[in-house]
Amino acid sequence: MRREEIIAAMNECATGLGRAPNMAEFRRLTRISLNQIRKNFGNYTRLLSASGVERHGAGYTASLKSLFLDWGRVVREMGKIPTIAEYELEGKFSIRPLVRRFRTWSQAPAGLQEYARQEGLEGEWEDVLKIIADHLEGEARQTRTFESPTIMPSRPRVLKDQISTEAVYGKPMHAPLNCAPTNENGVIFAFGSVAKELGFSMSRIQTAFPDCEVLREVAPNRWIPVRIEFEYESRNFLMHGHKPDKCHLIVCWKHNWAESPLEVLALESVVDCGGRKTRD
């Protein structure tokens, strides 16, 4: 069978069941063999991906696209940002996938707003993005209202009219980069400064995904090619919609994606304030 025929069969099967079929169900209902699946797609998971059919429930991770579409639908229907209780009632997913990606429920609107902009969804979801923007502005106004200039804050507060974003630095380090990275470009520089000590030889850096190709020493006089994607935080790999099968390693400053399917090298744990570099 051709790929298109198998994809059509998958969509028909999923529509009939009202969910994604497991492999046994798909083969039983369609009479399509495992050999045909492997020949055209490699494995069953790739067939699901090619068909646009997503598995949900325990043991499956919802894609950020699916989470945004469902959350955005609830926002559009309610005309406002839903509370946890409202989304649990109206949403297709639980709140856990969003909290896992954005740390807290309150940070989900800003994270999903950024995802929509990166994916070019402003036109289709203009009304939802307007609701998000109004919500974030309202939160900012409320924060400013309750801030008292007569009370010393627990940590210094940086005001936009006092200092620009470009002038905010990370913690001092004794390394070629004398302050810790605060963005992805800083991570690239920091990695370059310790790559040799960590057993990497950088071959190429590019603007396309993945960011970098290196040779990695795996044994004396044995090096293998490795594709690297740089991120300030490891979970940004997920937010940016990158495909794990096109990359081998995430190099970041902060590692906050426990479910990462890829190896993660967190430079924060490799280069400390004393400039010491370690190698496994």
User: What mean pLDDT comes out for the span 115-137?
Assistant: 91
Number of domains comprising the chain: 3
Identify any residues that bridge with 215 across adjacent strands, giving them in sequence order: 201, 225
- Domain end residue (candidates: 15, 30, 51): 51
Same domain, yes or no: 265 and 211: yes
Q: Is residue 78 part of a domain?
A: yes
Label residue 176 by pLDDT band (50, 70, 90): confident
Mean pLDDT computed over 85-89: 83
* pLDDT score of 82 more than 60: yes
Give the count of beta carbons closer than 10 Å to the beta carbon of residue 121: 18
Percent over 70 (pLDDT), the chain: 81
29 and 90 part of one domain: no
76, 16: one domain: no
Confidence class of residue 59 from pLDDT cuts 50, 70 and 90?
Answer: very low
Burial class (CB in 10 A: 0-12, 13-18, 19+), 26: buried
**Assigned domain for 240 exists:** yes
What confidence category does residue 276 fall into, taking pLDDT thresholds of 50, 70 and 90? very low
Do 38 and 96 fall into the same domain?
A: no
Q: In this structure, is residue 38 part of a structural domain?
A: yes
Give the confidence band of 278 by pLDDT, cuts at 50, 70, 90: very low
pLDDT tens track for 8-55: 999 898 888 777 888 888 999 999 998 999 888 888 888 887 887 766
Looking at the fold, whether 125 and 201 belong to one and the same domain comes out as no
Q: 265 and 190 in one domain?
A: yes
Is 35 among the domain residues? yes
CB atoms within 10 A of CB 23: 14
Whether 24 and 74 share a structural domain:
no
Q: What is the pLDDT of residue 161?
A: 54
Residue 279 lies in a domain: no
User: Is 33 domain-assigned?
Assistant: yes
31: tokens are 């009479």
Q: How far apart are CA 248 and CA 230, in angstroms?
A: 11
Taking Cα atoms as reference points, which of 157, 160, 230 lies closest to residue 191?
A: 230
Q: CB neighbours of 171 closer than 8 A, spacing ≥ 6?
A: 179, 180, 273
| Closest among 23, 25, 55, 63 to 41, alpha carbons compared | 23
Point out the domain boundary residue: 144, 173, 197.
144
H or E, element range at 129: helix 126-146
Residue 158 banded pLDDT, cuts 50, 70, 90? low
Average pLDDT, the chain: 82
Q: List the beta strands (DSSP E) in 130-238.
A: 200-205, 212-219, 222-233
pLDDT score of 197: 83
Do 69 and 45 have their domain in common? no
Per the CB < 8 A criterion, the answer to whether 118 and 87 are in contact is: no
Residue 79 included in any domain: yes
pLDDT tens digit sequence for 200-234: 999 999 988 999 999 998 777 888 999 999 999 99
For residues 140 and 214, state if they share a domain. Answer: no
Which pLDDT belongs to residue 32? Answer: 92
pLDDT digits (tens, 9 = 90+) for 132-150: 999 988 877 776 655 545 5
Question: Are 134 and 89 contained in the same domain?
Answer: yes
Of 29, 51, 73, at which residue does a domain stop? 51
The Cα-based distances of 113 to 23, 41, 138, 140 in angstroms read 35, 33, 15, 16
Q: Are residue 71 and residue 26 in the same domain, yes or no?
A: no
The reply to whether 175 falls in a domain is no
SS3 51: helix
Find the domain containing 135 and state its range: 64-144
CA neighbours closer than 13 Å in the CB half-sphere of residue 84:
9
